[in-house]
């Protein structure tokens, strides 16, 4: 099953969950209302999700005058990917990480943390940005926004079921009290698993396309390894406060125990690196060319001053 077909099937499953929850609350009318509710949420998300995520994460818009090397790098890679120039943001956290957002390539943004510019080499950062541009190119940011909105709708419907049961307003002919309790507990969990499955599928594809854009699969692999190690040691406070956006980052920014792997929003870093390594030949690059990243002159301090 291709990545796009898998995503379509998973989103169809999410829609079915929304309607099932609505049916359990209010029968056929409830199912229709739930579908309309989810649709209205998706329309809101279409226009406002990018702004909301950037605001939640404390992102600051930067210009070429403020961050010339970073903006030039994004511009060069966007041109290589045949994409419009996205807006560039910096997140004030030392955890190395990055994400992309926006409803389409014409209204997209790439956000990187202060920490990622201190930790990665120039080619590694190019690999990360290329990965995010791959998400924009294939409109993954929109897909993840829609699924996140549906997951939120299912969670809200679960709360409505709980209050409806407490008030005695629920028709037990649609599954009984036990069925309602089970749906209230497991439907939001199932929605979360569907959301995570979509995210995992899109990450593999973005790694592949990102490696092609930047021309250095192993640079992206090296970046993933460094980010994964640091993400487990440095707390990203804005991400911890808004965990619903975790799936948008290139590496999960949240602290989690190994027992939580079933609910991980990302594939394992080891699996991603193995797939990138398989793209290369014995020389470490295969048929790819070294990424040529423009610079505006090495600054006295700031990004890449460790090289």
pLDDT < 50 positions in the chain:
3, 170, 172-173, 176, 178, 257-263, 282-284, 287-307
Please give the helix or strand (H or E) that residue 113 lies within, else none.
strand 108-113
Of 3, 12, 69, 75, the closest CA to residue 38 belongs to 12
Question: Residue 80 has what pLDDT?
Answer: 93
Which residues define the annotated binding site?
131, 135, 203
Instruction: Give catalytic status of residue 132 as yes or no.
Output: yes
Question: Residue 302 has what pLDDT?
Answer: 43
Cβ-based neighbours of 205, under 8 Å, separated by 6 or more: 3, 134, 138, 140
CA trace torsion 252, 202, 81, 215 (10° rounding): 70
Residue 153 near residue 37 (C-beta atoms within 8 A): yes
CA atoms of 34 and 271, how far apart (whole Å): 37
Question: Residue 29 has what pLDDT?
Answer: 78
CA atoms of 257 and 198, how far apart (whole Å): 22
Beta bridge partners of 87: 109
Question: Residue 182 has what pLDDT?
Answer: 55
Which residues define the annotated binding site for Zn(2+)?
131, 135, 203
Catalytic residue among 132, 205, 240, 300: 132
CA atoms of 221 and 277, how far apart (whole Å): 8
Count of C-beta atoms within a 10 Å radius of residue 31? 19
CA distances from 80 to 193, 210, 286 (A): 34, 11, 19
Structure tokens at 269: 């870093």
CA atoms of 105 and 109, how far apart (whole Å): 9
Question: Residue 301 has what pLDDT?
Answer: 39
Question: 150-177: per-residue pLDDT in tens?
Answer: 666 666 666 666 665 555 554 544 554 5
Question: 114-147: per-residue pLDDT in tens?
Answer: 999 999 999 999 999 999 999 999 888 777 766 6
CA atoms of 55 and 261, how far apart (whole Å): 28
Q: Which long-range contacts (CB under 8 A, 24 or more apart) does 188-192 make?
A: 188/151, 188/154, 188/155, 188/158, 190/17, 191/14, 191/17, 191/150, 191/151, 191/154, 191/155, 192/151, 192/263
State whether residue 217 is helix, strand or coil: helix
Percent of the chain with pLDDT over 70: 62
């Amino acid at each position: 099953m291709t990545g796009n077909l898998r995503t379509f099937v998973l989103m169809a499953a999410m829609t079915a969950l929304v309607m099932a929850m609505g049916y359990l609350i209010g029968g056929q009318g409830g199912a229709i209302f739930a579908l309309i509710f989810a649709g209205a949420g998706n329309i809101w998300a279409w226009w406002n999700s990018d702004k909301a995520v950037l605001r939640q994460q404390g992102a600051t818009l930067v210009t070429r005058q403020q961050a010339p090397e970073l903006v030039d790098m994004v511009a060069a890679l966007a041109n290589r990917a045949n994409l419009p120039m996205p807006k560039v943001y910096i997140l004030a956290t030392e955890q190395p990480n990055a994400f992309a957002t926006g409803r389409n390539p014409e209204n997209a943004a790439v956000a990187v943390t202060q920490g990622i510019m201190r930790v990665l080499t120039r080619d590694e950062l190019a690999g990360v940005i290329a990965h995010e541009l791959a998400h924009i190119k294939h409109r993954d940011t929109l897909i993840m926004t829609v699924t996140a909105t549906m997951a939120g709708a299912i969670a809200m419907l679960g709360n409505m079921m709980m209050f409806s049961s407490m008030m005695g307003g629920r028709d037990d002919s649609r599954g009984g009290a036990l069925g309602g309790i089970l749906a209230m507990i497991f439907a939001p969990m199932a929605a979360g698993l569907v959301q995570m499955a979509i995210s995992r599928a899109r990450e593999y594809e973005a790694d592949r396309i990102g490696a092609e854009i930047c021309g250095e699969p192993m640079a992206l692999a090296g970046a993933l390894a460094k980010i994964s190690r640091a993400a487990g040691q440095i707390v990203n406070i804005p991400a911890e406060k808004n965990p619903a956006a975790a799936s948008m980052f290139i590496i999960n920014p949240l602290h989690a125990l190994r027992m939580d792997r079933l609910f991980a929003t990302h594939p394992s870093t080891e699996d991603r690196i193995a797939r990138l390594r398989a793209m290369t030949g014995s020389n470490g690059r295969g048929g790819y060319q070294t990424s040529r990243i423009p610079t505006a002159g090495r600054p006295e301090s700031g990004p890449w001053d460790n090289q």
